[in-house]
Structure formats: structure tokens, C-alpha cells
């Protein structure tokens, strides 16, 4: 990445500019860039296989969040044997490693290469119908499949797309991945700017994408069921959809056994009953239900490394509390 590109990126992303990289950040970043540089010399499939192997190292021997992953999978799928939980946990790390490498290499294959990675698309007529009305749309996904590829695919099809993102811990990597996203056609909006930028984007007829399955402190959220346990979930996507009366589309990119992708677009019902809080929570519950559906279909493709039930209501019954606590 040239210094000119860095300057342009930092101007667009003030959060990145404010956070000065440490020596550890620089070491991580340049190690990552060297790895990606070496992988670019390989075929796509070979590079992705290396990503899988690197991901498995996170499970064992490095044991990065190993306990969290196993406990959450066991809680979500109580009928699994211990051996099955271990196998599924290992597969989740393999998937995560491959997804990381896929995302890092997307700019190298371009929009045409990205579209060739997609095997089937279901529900694209929903996108075309919504965008033809000129009012914009709210798109929602979760940390499932390859969520980065899902957004890149939508943008590569010519849909004007703003992606709401959270800043990464390493500002150098944050800048790098945002550059990759923008190379695929997305406009990046840090979550700190979402309240100001989203209304403008929707009024301009753009789609705004949210990855909405991680409730954090300082983010307007509600509690909805996820695998039967209350999970803190961001409300922003639903709030904007109702306020500006735009449709909600749930989008996932599911990796198939052959390494290519199945893109699925589903319309989420957004009723207006006059009770805004209840209507918002109902939309959040509906798209969370769709996410759970897809996780049940391909559980290894969910981001189990995040503590999904870390924040819950204080009166949550003991049997439904965070299993990884």
C-alpha cells in the first residue's frame, strides 16, 4: 500500500488515524503482509488451504479461545458428544483461517474473480426490486460464512453499498482491510460515524450493511433469543429501517464443499404497529432467527470465538446464562 493510499484511507477513517500503532502492531502487520505476499504466489485454492492449516493452529497447539468455542458449541448443540464438539470446534478454526486468507486476497482477484467464486445466488431479485425503488435498503448479516465476501459480492454487482464496520485493534491492519473492502466497491463507514452517515446514505438510495450479532458496551442493543439463550444484539439496523421506511434484507455467503459460495438473500418482515420499540425488537429477533437457522445448517461456519452470550439480562435463569463464563 503506497503512502498516498494510506493518507487517503486515514482521511476517510479518522478512528484509524487517532490510534497510533505500537511496535507490537507493526510486528503483527508486517508479518501478516509478508504471509499474504507469499500466498499471492500460490493458486487461490492452495492459498486457502494454507489458511485452513493456519486456522487449525489457533485451536491446537495455540488454544486461542479454545475453551470458549467448545463451551458455546456444546451449549448450542446439547445433543453432540464431546468428540463431535471437538471436531466441530476444530472445523470452525479451519473455516476462520480460510475466511481470513480469502478476505485478505480478494483485491488480487478483483470483482470478476469474486463473482466467479460464487456458485449460486438465491433471492437476488429482492435486491433488484428494493434498489429500483430508489429509497435505499438496510442489509444485515452475522459473523457467519464469509461475511466480508458477502458484502464485497453485493458491491461487485453494482449495488451502491456502505458497510458499517468496527475499528480493529491493530490500526495498520484496520487500514489494510478497509483498503481491500474499498477495492471491491464498498464505502466504509466506521460505527462511530454510523448515526450521522446512514441517514444521508439511505436518502441517496444507497444500501447500508450491518454485521449485527455482537452486542457491545456503548451500542444500542436489545436481548433476543439465540439458540434459546438471551443474547445482546445491536438495534441500529432495525432502527434505521423503520425510521426511513426502507426494507431489511438478510444476506449470507455460505461456503460450499468445493470452496465456492452460495449467496442467499432473504427479506425480513418490518411491521409498523405504532410501538417503535416493540417493532425494532421484532425485526432484531427475526434476523437473529434467520442467522440461527443458517448456523444450524452449517455450524462450523459461525464465529464461535466471540462470546455471544457474554452480556445478558441480570434475571437470566442459571440454565441459560453464558456457557463460557
pLDDT tens, residue by residue, 120-145 = 999 999 999 999 999 999 999 999 99
Closest CA to 301 of 153, 79, 143: 143
Q: Which letter does DSSP use for residue 142 in this model?
A: -
Q: Are strands 207-211 and 187-190 parallel, antiparallel or unpaired?
A: unpaired
Buried b (16+ CB within 10 A) or exposed e, 103-128: bbbbbeeebeebeebbeebeebebbe
- Which runs of consecutive H residues, i.e. helices, occur in 19-133? 23-39, 44-59, 66-76, 82-117, 124-132
- Whether residue 222 is predicted with pLDDT greater than 50 in this model: the reply is yes
Please tell me the distance from the alpha carbon of residue 198 to that of residue 302, in angstroms, as a whole number: 27
Closest CA to 251 of 124, 91, 128: 124
pLDDT in tens, 302-311: 999 999 999 9
Please tell me the distance from the alpha carbon of residue 137 to that of residue 162, in angstroms, as a whole number: 10
Grid coordinates of 7: 493518507
The whole-number pLDDT of residue 7 equals 31
pLDDT in tens, 65-108: 999 999 999 999 999 999 999 999 999 999 999 999 999 999 99
76 half-sphere exposure, CB direction, 13 A CA radius? 29
Please tell me the distance from the alpha carbon of residue 197 to that of residue 75, in angstroms, as a whole number: 38
Q: At what angle do helices 171-183 and 3-12 cross, to 10 degrees?
A: 90
Record the pTM: 0.91
Amino acid at each position: 500500500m503506497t503512502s498516498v493510499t494510506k493518507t487517503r484511507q486515514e482521511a476517510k477513517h479518522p478512528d484509524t488515524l487517532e490510534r497510533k500503532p505500537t511496535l507490537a502492531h507493526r510486528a503483527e502487520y508486517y508479518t501478516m503482509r509478508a504471509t499474504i505476499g507469499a500466498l499471492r504466489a500460490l493458486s487461490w485454492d492452495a492459498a486457502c488451504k494454507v489458511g485452513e492449516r493456519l486456522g487449525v493452529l489457533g485451536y491446537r497447539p495455540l488454544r486461542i479461545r479454545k475453551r470458549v468455542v467448545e463451551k458455546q458449541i456444546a451449549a448450542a448443540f446439547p445433543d453432540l458428544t464431546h468428540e463431535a464438539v471437538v471436531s466441530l470446534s476444530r472445523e470452525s478454526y479451519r473455516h476462520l483461517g480460510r475466511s481470513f486468507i480469502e478476505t485478505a486476497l480478494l483485491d488480487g482477484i478483483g470483482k470478476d474473480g469474486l463473482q466467479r467464486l460464487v456458485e449460486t445466488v438465491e433471492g437476488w431479485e429482492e435486491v433488484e426490486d428494493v434498489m429500483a425503488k430508489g429509497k435505499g435498503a438496510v442489509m444485515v448479516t452475522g459473523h457467519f460464512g464469509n461475511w466480508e465476501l458477502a458484502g464485497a459480492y453485493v458491491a461487485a454487482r453494482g449495488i451502491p453499498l456502505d458497510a458499517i464496520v468496527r475499528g480493529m485493534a491493530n490500526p495498520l491492519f484496520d487500514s489494510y482491510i478497509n483498503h481491500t473492502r474499498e477495492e471491491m466497491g464498498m464505502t466504509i463507514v466506521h460505527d462511530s460515524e454510523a448515526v450521522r452517515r446512514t441517514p444521508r446514505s439511505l436518502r441517496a438510495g444507497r444500501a447500508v450493511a450491518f454485521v449485527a450479532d455482537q452486542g457491545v458496551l456503548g451500542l444500542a442493543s436489545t436481548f433476543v433469543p439465540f439458540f434459546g439463550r438471551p443474547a445482546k444484539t445491536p438495534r441500529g439496523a432495525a432502527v434505521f429501517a423503520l425510521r426511513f421506511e426502507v426494507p431489511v434484507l438478510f444476506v449470507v455467503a455460505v461456503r460450499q464443499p468445493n470452496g465456492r459460495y452460495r449467496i442467499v438473500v432473504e427479506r425480513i418482515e418490518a411491521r409498523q404497529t405504532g410501538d417503535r420499540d416493540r417493532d425494532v425488537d421484532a425485526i432484531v429477533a427475526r434476523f437473529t432467527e434467520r442467522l440461527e437457522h443458517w448456523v444450524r445448517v452449517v455450524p462450523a461456519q459461525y464465529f464461535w470465538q466471540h462470546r455471544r452470550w457474554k452480556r445478558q439480562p441480570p434475571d437470566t435463569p442459571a440454565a441459560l446464562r453464558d456457557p463460557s463464563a
